[in-house]
Structure 1
Amino acid sequence: MIEVLVVVGPGVVADAGLLEEIAAREFAAAGVSGALVHARDASHVLSLLSSPSSPEGAGGVVVLPGSSAEVRSLIGRDLGAVVWVDVERADGVTAGEGATHLHGRGVGGLAWGIRHAVHRVRHPSRRIAYGPLPEQRGELYLPDADEPPVVMLIHGGYWRSIWAADIMGPLCADLVGRGFAVWNLEYRRPDLHGWDATTADVAAGLAILATAHAAPPYGSGTLPPYGSDTLPPDALQPDADRTVALDLTRVTVVGHSAGAQLALRAVADAATGGAQAAADEAHADGGAGGAHAAGARAVGGVRVVMAVSLAGVLDLVEGDRRWVGTGAVGAALGGRAPEGQVAAPPYADASPLLRLPLGVRQLVVQGAADDLDLVDFSRRYARAAEEAGDEVTYLEMPGDHFDVINPATPIWQATARALAGDPAPRG
């Protein structure tokens, strides 16, 4: 059985009983055993992290570091696949090799941390950098299949840095079980890096699939040199007996919430050639090596055959005017939507509703119990896309904003069945 250790560092401002309750609830829900330990100091934390895993099963470790400078100095060290959880917002923190840092989700962040730790033990992936900065990376999950089609996942969170790719973990596991390779993308969010950086990262994340060279699994080595031209023969090797090549002629781009906006915008940019320019910008931000990845993408190694919106923010003009996400749209794009000038950038470039036709098949999924503005956006977008000549399937079923990314719900099951149908003939 998987064992999970939760370490609470000194100075964590949270009720100890509540932390115990959250941990116990998550252990039971995940079907794992676990323990929560309150550490006295940094030496105690380090000794707990250095303890060998139980011989009876793999282990995951979650640490709430608190405010101690000595404990926080451990976050950047290479201590393995630790999930560091700050209940407060803590921008600019870089975790060590193979580790993850989650922050700003309140005491409930502990639940997310435990889920992520269990997911990483149960579903190993390969971390791949598409740029030199910490957030310019993704996790590649491989099925037990030869030349699988690829699903690229783009998480939401209203473009705010407290939400990250870990929230898409359950979908990664579900899709791999259905025979897909899954590329779960992380990217720089505009609240810290600006809108152009976000757009460029999503384009670069799509482009890197054409020349992706996989890193070793968590904690087993360093990333390959960024900008390398070489794809080792065993780069996508899940075991010692066979290699796996991705079928890049069947790539589906899936986004949730704000991630749906990014997904549809990236597909629209690719159709107009804007993807290469955006990818060039992402790599230029970090130094040499980017031109190769963007050029490989331009050669035509990636063929997007379907774009999927899961509870997407698809009308940014109305999204800003209606103050969805408490002003999330204007905050992300750097200003309010101009009255009477809906064709002006950045809204004209960013809003999926203004980028039609997209030119690829689309699946628009919407929970009926979601924010009514998002229901409105999805319905109007699907209708407008169809009127523009795109092939669109609109799927609205009972469910809320997160049911669309919960593998146990009927709305996701219906979505997955739609994805599992061959989206386009091979070749």
Structure 2
Amino acid sequence: MGDVLVVAGPGVVPDAGLLAEVAAREFTALGVRGALVHARDAAHLLSLARGGAVVIPGPSPEVRELIGQPIGPVVWVDVERADDVAAGEGATHLHGRGISGLAWGIRHAVHRMRHPSRRIAYGASRDQWGDLYVPGGARNAPVVVLIHGGYWRSIWAADLMEALCADLTGRGFAVWNLEYRRPDLHGWQSTTADVAAGLAALDTVNMPAADAHPDVDLGGGAVAGSPALDLGRVAVVGHSAGAQLALRAVADGVRVALAVSLAGVLDLVEGDRRWLSSGAVAAALGHPSTEAAARRGAEEPAHVYRVSSPLLRLPLNAPQLIVQGTDDDLDLIDFSRRYARAAQHAGDEVTYLEMSGDHFAVITPSTPIWQATAEAITTALA
């Protein structure tokens, strides 16, 4: 049990009753006491939020100036998209998810309260970091790397995977929840480079502090030098677009004991042709799948699709678990089934798991499809 305060800033647009309904539903689901308060002005909001709250700031310039200030572990939730907003030290900024963003903000606040982690930077950008969770007293724990999805758009972030972080840590795994620069703001090459760098950073996390790379923040050395991670037993797990990034990293040579796709976007050429998520594939990669090839008078997919689409990179030469809910987007079901068959035909060791569940059931710890997935990961890393 805990207490969560939600603060709505002056001039917020969403209906007050609807915000109250969303907050109450999350309080009940998470088993916390909570309240929603409407702030009169910036001073009132600051007095309420200092020390920690979930805040919908609204349009007030005076309130928005507070977002970048170090006033505590505030979760700032902009219901509209708000790029280039940097939260103050210890705070989080979620944006662009509509009113549902309030639910995600409350979940993030409760998760952070219940499941502390160590944030470790692997680059200079504010999006180049991972949250490391290590079971209490663990030594040489197997590692699960989580790569979030969101169709490669910056409104979605690593908080999507926090429920799995808690579940997997409870099962005895160390968890590396990876954030990365998304291509809508930074370009496709930055995204793929960040995933590779974030995976490579695990080696540095296990190093003594004196040997660590200077660009990696080891958090005062509390993690550095501690043999908490067994890097010989690593599973990389991606959800949706994150599955594409995970499997592409394995195709590029990252060595893992298991690669897991959760409702993955595994066929980028067909994903583009079918206008998946309103053109998300071409928007992320920079152009349609055949545009560059057509200019050369060729019919094959453009180079970036050939190197990025997991289906076109087979065999991966690593054990794989392909998980798909039957209530998901029909195109994703098609991608997962065809990918699993093609991977097996190419000689890869592949387990295909299809069960009842929608796109988010595969990252919801209470669902049968996730329970079966977690058991498969446990067996693979035993």
Would you say same fold, with TM above 0.5? yes
| Alpha-carbon distance in structure 1 between the residues aligned to 2:230 and 2:300 | 38
Can you list the C-alpha shifts for 1:195-246, whole angstroms capped at 9, x where unaligned?
A: 11111111110010000279xxxxxxxxx99526989763269xxxxx5521
What amino acid is aligned across from residue 128 of structure 1 in structure 2?
A: I
In the other structure, the counterpart of 2:205 is: 212
In the other structure, the counterpart of 2:233 is: 250
Could you tell me whether the CA contact under 8 Å between 1:129 and 1:226 is conserved in 2? no
CA separation of 1:236 and 1:4: change in aligned 2, threshold 3 A: farther
- TM superposition shift of 1:49: 2.3
| Alpha-carbon distance in structure 1 between the residues aligned to 2:220 and 2:328 | 45
In the other structure, the counterpart of 2:77 is: 85
- The yes-or-no answer on 1:50 pairing with 2:39 is no
In the other structure, the counterpart of 1:69 is: 61
| Alpha-carbon distance in structure 1 between the residues aligned to 2:275 and 2:219 | 46
- TM superposition shift of 1:82: 1.0
In the other structure, the counterpart of 1:105 is: 97
In the other structure, the counterpart of 1:314 is: 266
Query: In terms of mean alpha carbon deviation, does 409-418 or 137-146 score higher?
Result: 137-146
What amino acid is aligned across from residue 83 of structure 2 in structure 1?
A: D
Could you tell me whether the CA contact under 8 Å between 2:322 and 2:350 is conserved in 1? yes
| Alpha-carbon distance in structure 2 between the residues aligned to 1:249 and 1:229 | 23
- TM superposition shift of 1:344: 3.1
| Alpha-carbon distance in structure 1 between the residues aligned to 2:154 and 2:14 | 22
SS at match of 1:134: coil
Match of 1:133 among 121, 125, 140: 125
> How do 1:327-406 and structure 2 match up within 5 A?
327-338=279-290, 341-406=299-364
| Alpha-carbon distance in structure 1 between the residues aligned to 2:173 and 2:206 | 18
What amino acid is aligned across from residue 331 of structure 1 in structure 2?
A: A
CA separation of 1:125 and 1:316: change in aligned 2, threshold 3 A: same
SS at match of 1:106: coil
| Alpha-carbon distance in structure 1 between the residues aligned to 2:143 and 2:71 | 31
- TM superposition shift of 1:341: 3.5
| Alpha-carbon distance in structure 1 between the residues aligned to 2:72 and 2:220 | 24
- TM superposition shift of 1:35: 1.1
| Alpha-carbon distance in structure 2 between the residues aligned to 1:232 and 1:135 | 20
In the other structure, the counterpart of 1:21 is: 21
What amino acid is aligned across from residue 419 of structure 1 in structure 2?
A: I
What amino acid is aligned across from residue 269 of structure 1 in structure 2?
A: D
Could you tell me whether the CA contact under 8 Å between 1:138 and 1:184 is conserved in 2? yes
What amino acid is aligned across from residue 48 of structure 1 in structure 2?
A: L
CA separation of 1:91 and 1:396: change in aligned 2, threshold 3 A: same
Could you tell me whether the CA contact under 8 Å between 2:6 and 2:34 is conserved in 1? yes
- TM superposition shift of 1:265: 0.5
What amino acid is aligned across from residue 347 of structure 1 in structure 2?
A: Y
What amino acid is aligned across from residue 130 of structure 2 in structure 1?
A: G
In the other structure, the counterpart of 1:416 is: 374
In the other structure, the counterpart of 2:40 is: 40
SS at match of 1:304: coil
- The yes-or-no answer on 1:262 pairing with 2:245 is yes
Could you tell me whether the CA contact under 8 Å between 2:204 and 2:213 is conserved in 1? no
Alignment root-mean-square deviation, CA: 2.0
Could you tell me whether the CA contact under 8 Å between 2:49 and 2:55 is conserved in 1? no
| Alpha-carbon distance in structure 2 between the residues aligned to 1:419 and 1:142 | 17
SS at match of 1:88: coil
What amino acid is aligned across from residue 234 of structure 1 in structure 2?
A: A
| Alpha-carbon distance in structure 2 between the residues aligned to 1:197 and 1:68 | 33
| Alpha-carbon distance in structure 1 between the residues aligned to 2:123 and 2:218 | 16
CA separation of 1:77 and 1:419: change in aligned 2, threshold 3 A: same
Could you tell me whether the CA contact under 8 Å between 2:206 and 2:228 is conserved in 1? no
SS at match of 1:253: strand
In the other structure, the counterpart of 2:147 is: 154
Count of residues in correspondence between the two structures: 371
Can you list the C-alpha shifts for 1:170-205, whole angstroms capped at 9, x where unaligned?
A: 100000011110011111111111111111111110
- TM superposition shift of 1:50: 2.9
CA separation of 1:77 and 1:372: change in aligned 2, threshold 3 A: same
Can you list the C-alpha shifts for 1:118-139, whole angstroms capped at 9, x where unaligned?
A: 0110111111101011111111
| Alpha-carbon distance in structure 2 between the residues aligned to 1:96 and 1:227 | 21
Can you list the C-alpha shifts for 1:51-104, whole angstroms capped at 9, x where unaligned?
A: 6xxxxxxxx510111111111111111122111000000001111112111000
User: 5+ unaligned residues in a row in structure 2: which ranges?
Assistant: none
- TM superposition shift of 1:21: 1.0
- The yes-or-no answer on 1:190 pairing with 2:183 is yes
Tell me the percent identity: 71
Could you tell me whether the CA contact under 8 Å between 2:218 and 2:224 is conserved in 1? no
In the other structure, the counterpart of 2:110 is: 118
| Alpha-carbon distance in structure 1 between the residues aligned to 2:26 and 2:229 | 34
- TM superposition shift of 1:342: 3.3
- The yes-or-no answer on 1:227 pairing with 2:215 is yes
Can you list the C-alpha shifts for 1:285-334, whole angstroms capped at 9, x where unaligned?
A: xxxxxxxxxxxxxxxxxx41110000000000011001111110011111
CA separation of 1:158 and 1:114: change in aligned 2, threshold 3 A: same
SS at match of 1:376: helix
